[in-house]
Chains A and B, each alone.
Chain A
Amino acid sequence: MYGMKIDNHPKLDRLLLPEYSNFHPLRKGFKFEGDSVDDMNRTWEIEREADQKVSSTVLEHHRRDYFVNMGPQHPSTHGVLRLLLHMDGETILEIDPVIGYAHRADEKMGENGNYMQFYPYPSRVDYLAGMIYNWGYVGTVERAIGIEITERAQYIRVIVSELQRLASHLMWYGAFLMDVGSFTPFLYCFQDREEILDMFEMCDGSRLTYNYFRFGGQERDLSPEMLDRARKFIPMMKSHLKDYEKLVQKNIIFRKRTEGVGVITKDMAIQYGVTGASLRASGFAYDVRKSEPYGIYNQFEWDVPTATTGDAYGRFAVRVQEMWQSLRILEQALTRIPEGPYNNPAAPKRFKPNPGEFYFCVESPRGEMGIYLISDGTENPYRIKMRTPCYSNLQVIKDVGRKNFLADVVCILGSLDIVVPDVDR
């Protein structure tokens, strides 16, 4: 993105942009000229020729191994991720994730507008955790301008974040089981997720891409009806979770498919910067909410669930436990939520933060999500860098997926819980 050259790099190519693009958009003073469609056609021709060269070398030498393109359009890559699989029969020799198909210049857009104008975009980066990403961005700017957040707003933030975490995990639960081959749980999970989306509609008006957080508070108050609904939702969710546990976790085929598959060791996880449930399943109890408490998470009573196996089943179990913990936090927050103002009327609309660098991170359902902000003292941010969890979590598949079967790769990818725009930004 900056056009840096690295000596002796084994495979130096474009990461997010089309392979043969000749510009570096994150450089200051970059201006895109020309027609994007013409540009697309030109690079596509070159890419195609390169692809054909690879496949023809395999054919010419009568090799046993072959390349399979999994994606960008594939039912189980959860969007537009592409995995270039080098295979021998059903066994994977090498996995090469190719990313960038969902790149839409979120970071550059942050630089182009002022601080207010970037409000809606974080929730579109990871559309399954919109509320939490909103908090990540708002939190960063709040740290930069040093603004007070009211008590009620703090509680509202925790409530919507934990609901969001539940919604995201439910979605993942269904999608993961669909990858393993059973379709029905997906629809049951969606049923529960719709409940949560209804609640979000009551507080924000949007079903998926929220814009609910403001610097210093919230856009509007939580209505009593929504709080009532959330209180009713908790026991329902608990009983459903128990049912799912009976139906899924005790199923022998599911256990056989996931146990011992895709083991991420503790060292490997730390080396790749894996965070979230995938790290906790490897036996490392790191959760931003505990280790670096933001908001009022330190006022609640909850545990960080871990597993020691590091396999797909471990990740599954950890996430299910996290749903229970989220319900626990929600229960406490819903009983203790105080009356009061939901936003800080002193919050400025336009402002110029002091020059400097600020970092704020939140625990998204997929891991540590941080925003690194450089301010140069003007109304627009100088640089917004998003540390998105899926990007680091995805890298690990190169090591983990090797020497596995094709069916396992799908299972591992599902258990890592990848959201592609979160990788590509």
Chain B
Amino acid sequence: MEMNVNPQQAAAHQKDGLMGVVFASLEKLLNIGRANSLWPLTFGLHCCAIEMMAASASRFDLDRFGAGVFRGSPRQADLMIVAGTVSRKMAPRIKMLYDQMPAPKYVIAMGGCAMWGGPYQYDGQYAIIEGVDRIVPADVHVPGCPPRPEGLIEGLLSSA
């Protein structure tokens, strides 16, 4: 799993002097807030969507980490979980949804298909985009076909 450093956080660390300290601690507070309330977009593509639902259901309960508020509208979501194969017909819509989300926004590529095409990658594959990274920047990759809900939770916590 890989993780991107928040650019704002990096900028805050570069500041010095008293104001720098104030901004840095404000940034820290904001980051704690963001990390603990990642509202995902209700958005499932394929099989992984079911595991995403299972992760939000009673046994795994994403809500424990404050991430259980699934919002249907991209305007109110912070996190896009790309759960499944990205087909070529769907890809522009995914990009559009990503553009509609307000910053700061995060993307989790869930499952092999969203990472690199998964089992659907073959020579001459005409229907899918091989990896969601080619259209939107993914912050965390969760491997598996489909990943277990624990895997998704782990990915979520590492993105936080």
Contacts and interface: CB of A to CB of B under 8 A. Distances in A.
Is there a direct interface between A and B, measured as CB atoms under 8 Å apart in the complex? yes
Nearest to A198: B59
A73 B43 contact: yes
B127 A101 contact: no
A104 B85 contact: yes
Interface of B is mostly: loop
Interface of A is mostly: loop
A36 interface: yes
Interface stretch (B7-15, B23-31, B102-110, B117-125): B117-125
B87 A102 contact: yes
Contact of B92 (A41, A121, A424): A41
A120 B134 contact: no
B75 interface: no
A319 to B, nearest CB: 18
B120 A190 contact: no
A253 interface: no
Interface string A33-52: 00011011101100100000
Given A25-B126, A32-B124, A207-B51, A103 B87 contact: yes
Interface stretch (A54-62, A74-82, A407-415): A74-82
B140 interface: no
A41 B93 CA distance: 11
A39 B47 contact: no
Given A80-B45, A128-B50, A208-B50, A190 B57 contact: yes
B64 interface: no
Contact of A102 (B53, B72, B90, B97): B90
Given A75-B42, A104-B85, A32 B125 contact: yes
B72 A75 contact: yes
Contacts of B87: 80, 100-104, 424
A49 B124 CA distance: 29
A421 interface: yes
A186 B47 contact: no
Contact of B129 (A37, A75, A112): A37
Contact of A124 (B41, B88, B119, B129): B119
A100 B87 CA distance: 8
A79 B44 contact: yes
Contact of B46 (A37, A40, A72, A79): A79
B126 A105 contact: yes
Central interface residue in B45, B90, B93, B145, by most chain A CB within 10 Å = B90
B93 A194 contact: no
A23 B145 contact: no
A194 B59 contact: yes
Contact of B57 (A31, A73, A186): A186
A101 B119 contact: no
Central interface residue in B47, B53, B89, B125, by most chain A CB within 10 Å = B89
A51 to B, nearest CB: 11
B45 A102 contact: yes
A17 interface: yes
Contacts of B50: 127-128, 171, 208
B54 interface: yes
A240 to B, nearest CB: 13
Given A127-B50, A190-B53, A209-B47, A120 B93 contact: no
Contacts of A41: 92
Contacts of B125: 32, 36, 105
Contacts of A68: none
A73 B126 CA distance: 22
Contact of A72 (B70, B72, B93, B122): B93
Interface string B70-110: 10101000000000110111111100010000000000000
Contacts of A121: 119
Given A32-B124, A102-B46, A124-B46, A72 B90 contact: yes
Given A43-B88, A194-B59, 19 more contacts: A73-B74, A73-B97, A75-B42, A75-B70, A80-B87, A100-B89, A101-B90, A102-B84, A103-B127, A104-B87, A105-B127, A124-B46, A127-B46, A171-B50, A190-B57, A207-B54, A209-B146, A421-B46, A424-B87
For the complex of A and B, 3 pairs with smallest distance between CB atoms: A190-B57, A127-B47, A32-B126
14 contacts: A16-B89, A16-B127, A36-B126, A73-B74, A74-B72, A75-B42, A80-B87, A120-B119, A128-B50, A187-B57, A194-B59, A207-B51, A207-B54, A424-B87
Interface of A: 16-18, 23, 25, 30-32, 36-37, 39-41, 43-44, 47, 72-75, 79-80, 100-105, 108-109, 112, 120-121, 124, 127-128, 171, 186-188, 190-191, 193-194, 197, 207-209, 421, 424
